[in-house]
Amino acid sequence: MISAIPTAQTEIWHKDYNLDKKDNLSQLPHEAAVFGVFAIVHDQPVNCRYIGSTDDLQSAIKALFEEPPGPGLKKFMQGPWIQLLSFELMPGATVEERQKVREEWTRKYQPAIDEDGGYPGYYGNGK
């Protein structure tokens, strides 16, 4: 069984999508990983919006900001929310091994997003 490096977390910023022009995407590793993108409440990850797996974490997160799959995720990634990235680096893992971890994370964190970028039901919108 593959051993994953322990989970890490960091707020993520893309210079084109925040007023302060912060950008820390270059600090993310170019390594295979399973990751989740969350909102933040009291410095804790909440309301998972997206779970993914990739051969290159930095490129995958940049693509989520620039070309998100769907209008809700676009509003979340490019809108006023602060995004928290949680990830496990999995160097040497096969696609199948990363997929298995991705499926575990999906069951655990139950990612969801509505068309406005919110988490369904969280903001009293009933969606």
Q: Which residue has better confidence, 90 or 7?
A: 90
* Tens digit of each residue's pLDDT (9 = 90 or more) over 31-43: 999 999 999 988 8
* Tens digit of each residue's pLDDT (9 = 90 or more) over 59-87: 999 999 999 999 999 999 999 889 999 99
Q: What is the CATH number of domain 8-109?
A: 3.40.1440
With residues binned 3-state (H G I as helix, E B as strand, rest as coil), the percentages for the chain, rounded to 5, are 30, 25, 45
Backbone dihedral angles phi then psi of residue 39, each to the nearest 5 degrees: -85, 175
Domain boundaries, the chain: 8-109
pTM for this entry = 0.90
